[in-house]
Amino acid sequence: MILLDGKLVSAEMKLKLKAEVTEMVAAGKRAPHLCAILVGNNGASETYVSSKVRNCEEVGFGSSLIRFDSDISEEVLLDKIHEINDDETIDGLIVQLPLPPQINVQKVTEAISPSKDVDGFHPTNSGRLMQNLPAFIPATPYGILMMLDYYGIQTEGKTCAVIGRSNIVGMPMSVLMARNDSPGNCTVTLCHSKTKNLEQVTAASDIIVAALGRPGFVKENMVKEGAIVIDVGITRVPSATTKSGFKIAGDVDFQNVSSKCAYISPVPGGVGLMTIIGLLKNTMAAAKKEISF
Ligand code: NAD
């Protein structure tokens, strides 16, 4: 079994990004700048956003964090987004989800200029992704592609079960694994909460991407010998052994599944770290205006 080591791969990729930023600045250009908007004070969102900002600093990107109270109106939030869309010193804009109920997430998603949409959630970017046109790919699927690529994993002709069909992970992942590209060219089954005989589908698949948010869901009997297993799940579960009182659990029963796998990504230390790389790479691409809309 080979561990898909997000720590190792992301550290290497961050060094490359840092070198690229140094070159840009030496050539008299501005370093890429990511702006994050955080509404309210959800614990997990705070953690994610501060990690994104910290990683920007690590590679030499500029970053700004705009905070709003949870009772902010939709109008004020949309006005801020429009202001950032027009700000030429900001390359990428993300609005951390979830948002409070008075705010329409779809309106927010569509308010962000596609050229600054480094989360890749805008319909323009997801539409372009569907057609295999240059687009900002959502950070988690993008990170997984980079991980597969780094380990030289051949995906062409393989069967792939993606569990979960969210717009953020499962749906784009299924499209990316099916498209005529590398990584890609898989025969994909997109599984979800209404899928019947899911165990049979996964047990027959060469690649499994688990993105449903149910700790330990993928069990030994659901995985065939020599499979490639990518665990996207991040769920906080209570723990008596950590200071915070919780630990992070993935969607795969790693202890029992790993020995059957050719490759498997751990949680933590796997896809989560690659997601950050996806976001940083998108921000770099936005700064360089690599994708024209
Ligand atoms: P979501 O809640 O939006 O979607 C979950 C999907 O799983 C749904 O499509 C649903 O149909 C499917 N599902 C739920 N129960 C199921 C079941 N019993 N059988 C089959 N399918 C089932 O979730 P999301 O935003 O895609 O996130 C999924 C998981 O990935 C979560 O744990 C989340 O925290 C994690 N996540 C991790 C990263 C990362 O960087 N590692 C990034 C985003 C999300």
pLDDT tens-place string over residues 223-245: 999 999 999 999 999 999 999 89
Domain boundaries, the chain: 28-117, 139-274
User: Using one digit for the tens of pLDDT, what is the confidence trace for 167-196?
Assistant: 999 999 999 999 999 999 999 999 999 999
pLDDT at 208: 99
CATH number at 139-274: 3.40.50.720
Report whether residue 60 contacts ligand 1, using a CB cutoff of 6 Å.
no
10, 55, 193, 247: residue to mutate for ligand 1 pocket, most atoms within 8 A of CB: 193
Tell me whether the CATH fold assigned to 28-117 matches the one assigned to 139-274. Answer: yes
Predicted local distance difference test score (pLDDT) of residue 44: 87
Whole-number mean pLDDT of the chain?
A: 97
Q: Is 183 in the pocket of ligand 1 (CB under 6 A)?
A: no
**Which of 97, 218, 229, 234 should be mutated for ligand 1, with most atoms under 8 A from CB?**
234
Q: Give yes or no for residue 45 CB within 6 A of ligand 1.
A: no
Q: Mark the ranges of the chain whose per-residue pLDDT is less than 70.
A: none
So which residues are the catalytic ones? Answer: 52, 96, 119
Distance CA 251, CA 169 (A): 13
State percent of the chain over pLDDT 70: 100
Other CB atoms within a 10 A radius of the CB of residue 253 amount to: 18
CATH code for residues 28-117: 3.40.50.10860
Q: What is the DSSP string of 61-116?
A: -EEEEEEE-TT--HHHHHHHHHHHHT-TT--EEEEPSP--TTS-HHHHHHHS-GGG
Model confidence pTM above 0.75 = yes
